[in-house]
Amino acid sequence: MTPKTRSLLSLLCVLAVTGCGGTTFVNKKYRGRLSGGGHHLVIMPVEAHSFGPGLRSDIEALMNRELVSSFGSRGVRVMPVKSQLAAAGFANLGWRLALGMHYRTMVRGSPKLDGEYYDWLDELPRESLKFVGWLKTALAAGGPGQELRYVLAAYVERLAYKKSKQGEPLLTFRVVAGIYDVRRGRVVISTWKYLSCKPTLTAIRPLLTGMGAHIRNKFGPVL
């Protein structure tokens, strides 16, 4: 099964159940676990895929601002060392984590990342653990009692581009976000939302404005 086919099947599955809304997977073992002030969230840079060059950069900038606005007070931002990720071998880790959490929780209802869909899912637990070790040195972040354990990753992906019944261009895309416990190798929580609008920044911007607050609200059971 190709990645494009998987994306289409995931879309059809969600639309059949929830229409154009979103839903959330909660790992019950983590209910209220991150409510204490000692748990820092490692905030990965957001990536947007399959959009035009202009749209992609604007969407990424908007989503990064949304996450920082909603989680920055208790988060460790990776953005300051984003330019170093490729050389360190972690260039694609953020979007792969977000997408992996989405697939495994939405389709299989599983908090484990390793499993069917993409071969690279099996690599994510090891890569994530290695990443937080590298990040602590790169940012000089954390210290005794400040373990970098929970990674927040979000991803925006264009799924379809077609015409509406009125003959107008219509863009369908999804926003997925989740928190991953690198120590235990488990998804803490994952949420996703499927959206449709005209393929312009003017139409997309209001749909993404407030997305950080929406995600934080969905993460409420563990935060």
Q: Which residues are paired to 191 by β-bridges?
A: 24, 177
> Residue 85 is encoded by which pair of tokens?
């990720």
The percentage of the chain sitting over the pLDDT mark of 70, rounded to a whole number, equals 87
d(CA 146, CA 93): 22
Domain count, the chain: 1
Cβ neighbour number for residue 221 with a 10 Å cutoff: 17
The mean pLDDT value of the chain amounts to 87
For the CA atoms of 212, 88, 7, 163, the dihedral, rounded to the nearest 10 degrees, stands at 70
Q: What is the pLDDT of residues 15-60, one digit of tens each?
A: 333 334 458 999 999 999 898 767 789 999 999 999 987 899 999 9
Sign of the Cα torsion 106, 107, 109, 112 reads negative
Taking alpha carbons only, the member of 55, 3, 71, 77 closest to residue 169 is: 55
**pLDDT of amino acid 142:** 54
Q: Which residues are paired to 192 by β-bridges?
A: 23, 176
In a domain, 22, yes or no: yes
What type of residue is 117? Y
What type of residue is 6? R
Beta strands in the chain (DSSP E): 22-26, 41-43, 47-49, 75-77, 150-163, 169-181, 186-197
> Residue 163 is encoded by which pair of tokens?
């015409």
In a domain, 223, yes or no: no
8 Å CB contact between 124 and 154: no
Write out the residue range of the structural domain in which residue 148 sits.
3-218
The percentage of the chain sitting over the pLDDT mark of 90, rounded to a whole number, equals 69
What does residue 157 show for φ and ψ, rounded to 5 degrees?
-140, 130
In a domain, 129, yes or no: yes
**pLDDT of amino acid 22:** 58
Asked if pLDDT for residue 73 goes beyond 80, the answer is yes
Asked if pLDDT for residue 3 goes beyond 90, the answer is no
Q: Which residues are paired to 127 by β-bridges?
A: none
8 Å CB contact between 70 and 104: no
